[in-house]
Amino acid sequence: MIVAITDDDYVNKGPYRPVFQIKKRIHMLEALRCVDATIVVKDSLQALKEVVPSIFCKGMEYADKILPEDRAFCEEKGIVILFTTEPSWSSTDLLRYYESQLG
């Protein structure tokens, strides 16, 4: 499995983001036995074009949010789009939880 990681400069989720810098995110993912490689990208379309995978997998929270250009590329190349059913470990949710405990 190849995991694409959004470069720090392109993470647009608010101030002090990303919580974990790119080197830490790479290290955490590459520690997983199921991860064969990681690539750093600016967006999902770049990842699709660089890897041209047989399957494009996103979290369930993206089920209705696949970008039209990503969908078109996948259709053109015969890439299957799938969504995980595993729980999300969103740093945004973790931060919200932490803030709620302080407040």
- For 3-21, the pLDDT digits (tens) are 999 999 998 877 778 888 9
The class that CATH gives domain 2-102 is: alpha beta
Residue 100 has pLDDT above 90, yes or no: no
The string of pLDDT tens digits covering residues 59-91 is: 998 999 999 999 999 999 999 999 998 887 777
Token pair for 31 = 């520690």
* CA triple 71-72-73, angle to 5 deg: 90
- pTM confidence score: 0.82
Question: Where do the structural domains in the chain lie, given as residue ranges?
Answer: 2-102
Neighbour-count burial for 83-101, b at 16+ CB within 10 Å, e otherwise: eeeeeeeeeeeeeeeeeee
Per-residue model confidence (pLDDT) at position 15: 76
- Sequence-ordered list of residues with C-beta below 8 angstroms from that of 80, at least 6 positions apart, any chain: 54, 55, 56, 74
Q: For residues 98 and 37, which has the higher predicted lDDT (pLDDT)? A: 37
